[in-house]
């Protein structure tokens, strides 16, 4: 009891001396990127937790991944093992007629197996499908919360007081059959983030359940996505603006689920490239599960015709056109910077509601396919604003007010306080919550507590000086803390390496490719710094300089 109270006092004292923190906002790192054709997030399901890498998809509503019942080659080989619900002490299979939140399972089959399970079949536009049954279990959202969970299992008496809200009960589909891309992809499954969830015929998603779990701290029913080149971050429960640029897109519009099949639908009223405009509105929607951006044929032709006209001027499009819509940046031949290369292509402007203009520069709508080879990521098809539209904008999906907010931001890296987040290795299972803490652990804890109590008086005495708002640690101390964290979390990067390691070429990246495009973004953001003296971006650039791009 004394140990628990002492630790709580120390945790409280140290917490008051940290940077300003909003407990309503849960931030997690994203993996993947355009070269992988999707972005994913790690969640940890069951008790004890099992990791699942799920594609973030604002264009669908269900969360689905394969379970151990998927046999006879009905499911593919993915990044993690199939979810073993038999090893989870908290799983609950949903039955026919059973309710979960606002959703109710209706079954017409007389088959006994069908009655005992709430089954589903889900088809997707590109032809892939899932078949399986629904289940309920606990989930931990993101790697940082899972690391906190693992650390806290060593201090059993504090779990209920401090980390009870880490786990969220949620409903998901256990896949017993996967087809096409879902069977061959590396990600384990999909995390549906669509707007029309938690209804009688639509299951609640992780956003709904996090909102329900944390409503006592006034969490909002909203989330945001910030997609970088090969990473990004996601936030639930709020909108943290520390990575936003002052001189960039800053748009607030209402979305309408009636515009496009119960999606995050918006209207584009006008397209403008240079002095040419196409004044004819159409409906579209934002879909993080679609790689490229698609326009109806009329608008696609306008965009490509204007880009081609722009490129006829020898002073524009300063690269060798090596393929339709693809250009090679050759620094030696052209003697220009990568920034000048991007600037030589036109910016596409989209007029949205209330005459708000979304600016889409070439560095966002072009993507690197090979070293220094950049292609225009716009296609003809059903109107969809995919990942290439979303890149380097922090996009808030406010489910309560049915609003979308778009702010230009630096998305490749998100810094949590004074340390970067990491993916977690789960090679060693965490200690079960109900396992008795070993005697040696108590001895270690007792030593920590004694030292902590002695330090507590010093902390309280110096509290006023140490707890000044927004006070930053000196850079040397940051390096020491980062080194200590790296030492303590040995093997943490293995989880990320496992995620990005691929049996074929899909995840293989050339040694310089990511550095090329990231340096381009760094140069361009440096120019924005000169224009607006944005201290927030300065912090990100400083972190960027320490970032080590690794390939597997």
Contacts of 217 (CB under 8 A, 6+ apart): 23, 24
**326 phi, psi to nearest 5 deg:** -125, 140
Question: Token pair of 72, please?
Answer: 């006879």
d(CA 406, CA 248): 10
d(CA 17, CA 325): 53
DSSP secondary structure of 472-508 = PPPHHHHHHHHHHHHHHTTTHHHHHHHHH--SSSTT-
CB 213 within 8 A of CB 200: no
Cα angle: 551, vertex 58, 219; to 5 degrees: 100
DSSP secondary structure of 330-389 = -HHHH---HHHHHHTSPPEEEE-GGG-EEEE-HHHHEEEEETTEEEE-EEESS-BB-HHH
Question: Token pair of 326, please?
Answer: 């693809």
Strands (E), 180-289: 189-192, 222-227, 232-236, 250-254, 265-268, 270-273, 276-278, 282-285
Is 428 exposed, middle or buried (CB count within 10 Å of its CB: 0-12, 13-18, 19+)? exposed
As a whole number of angstroms, the longest Cα–Cα distance in the chain is 77
d(CA 418, CA 439): 33
Which sign does the torsion angle of CA 166, 289, 130, 183 carry? negative
CB 229 within 8 A of CB 102: no
Which sign does the torsion angle of CA 49, 189, 25, 528 carry? positive
3-state secondary structure of 469: coil
Question: Token pair of 137, please?
Answer: 């279990």
Catalytically active residues, by annotation:
57, 287
Q: What is the dihedral angle through the alpha carbons of 489, 494, 496, 497, rounded to the nearest 10 degrees?
A: 150
Which sign does the torsion angle of CA 166, 172, 177, 182 carry? negative
d(CA 409, CA 530): 16
Question: Token pair of 200, please?
Answer: 């009688």
Question: Which residue has 């786990």 as its token pair?
Answer: 167
d(CA 103, CA 199): 5
Question: Token pair of 403, please?
Answer: 């609003």
Element (H, E) at 138: strand 129-141
Residue 438 pairs in a beta bridge with none
């Amino acid at each position: 009891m004394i140990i628990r109270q002492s630790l709580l006092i120390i945790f409280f004292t140290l917490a008051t001396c940290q940077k300003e923190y909003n407990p309503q906002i849960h931030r997690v790192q994203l993996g993947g990127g355009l070269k992988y054709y999707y972005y994913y997030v790690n969640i940890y399901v069951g008790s004890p937790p099992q990791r699942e890498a799920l594609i973030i998809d604002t264009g669908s509503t269900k969360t689905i991944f394969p379970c151990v019942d998927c046999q006879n080659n009905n499911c593919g080989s993915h990044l993690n093992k199939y979810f073993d619900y038999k090893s989870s002490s908290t799983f609950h299979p949903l039955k026919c007629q059973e309710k979960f939140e606002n959703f109710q399972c209706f079954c017409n089959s007389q088959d006994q197996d069908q009655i005992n399970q709430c089954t589903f079949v889900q088809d997707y536009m590109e032809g892939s499908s899932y078949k399986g049954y629904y289940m309920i279990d606990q989930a931990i959202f993101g790697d940082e919360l899972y690391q906190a969970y693992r650390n806290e299992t060593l201090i059993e008496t504090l779990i209920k007081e401090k980390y009870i809200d880490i786990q969220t009960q949620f409903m998901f589909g256990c896949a017993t059959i996967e087809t096409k891309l879902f069977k061959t992809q590396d990600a384990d499954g999909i995390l549906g983030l669509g707007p029309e969830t938690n209804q009688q015929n639509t299951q609640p998603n992780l956003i709904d359940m996090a909102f329900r779990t944390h409503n006592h701290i006034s969490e909002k029913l909203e989330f945001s996505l910030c997609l970088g080149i090969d990473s990004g971050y996601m936030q639930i429960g709020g909108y943290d603006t520390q990575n936003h640029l002052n001189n960039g897109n800053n748009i607030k519009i209402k979305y309408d689920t009636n515009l496009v099949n119960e999606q995050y639908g918006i209207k584009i009223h006008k397209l403008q490239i240079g002095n040419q405009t196409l004044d004819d509105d159409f409906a579209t929607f934002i879909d993080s599960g679609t790689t490229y951006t698609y326009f109806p044929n009329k608008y696609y032709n306008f965009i490509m015709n204007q880009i081609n006209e722009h490129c006829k001027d020898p002073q524009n499009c300063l690269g060798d056109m090596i393929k339709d819509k693809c250009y090679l940046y050759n620094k030696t031949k052209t003697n220009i910077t990568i920034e000048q290369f991007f600037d030589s292509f036109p910016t596409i402007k989209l007029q949205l509601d209330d005459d708000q203009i979304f600016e889409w520069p070439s560095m966002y709508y072009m993507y690197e396919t090979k070293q220094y080879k950049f292609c225009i990521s716009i296609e003809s098809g059903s109107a969809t604003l995919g990942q290439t539209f979303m890149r380097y904008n922090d996009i808030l999906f406010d489910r309560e007010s049915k609003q979308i907010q778009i702010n230009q931001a630096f998305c490749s890296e998100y810094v949590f306080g004074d340390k970067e987040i990491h993916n977690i290795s789960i090679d060693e299972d965490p200690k079960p919550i109900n396992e008795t803490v070993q005697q040696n652990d108590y001895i270690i804890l007792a030593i920590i507590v004694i030292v902590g109590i002695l330090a507590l008086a010093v902390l309280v005495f110096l509290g006023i000086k140490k707890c000044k708002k927004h006070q930053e640690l000196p850079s040397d101390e940051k390096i020491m803390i980062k080194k200590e964290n790296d030492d303590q979390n040995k093997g943490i990067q293995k989880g990320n390496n496992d995620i990005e390691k691929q049996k074929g070429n899909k995840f293989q990246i050339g040694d310089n490719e990511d550095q090329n495009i990231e340096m381009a973004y760094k140069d361009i953001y440096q120019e924005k710094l000169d224009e607006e003296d944005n201290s927030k971006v300065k912090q990100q650039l400083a972190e960027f300089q320490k970032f080590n791009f690794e390939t597997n």
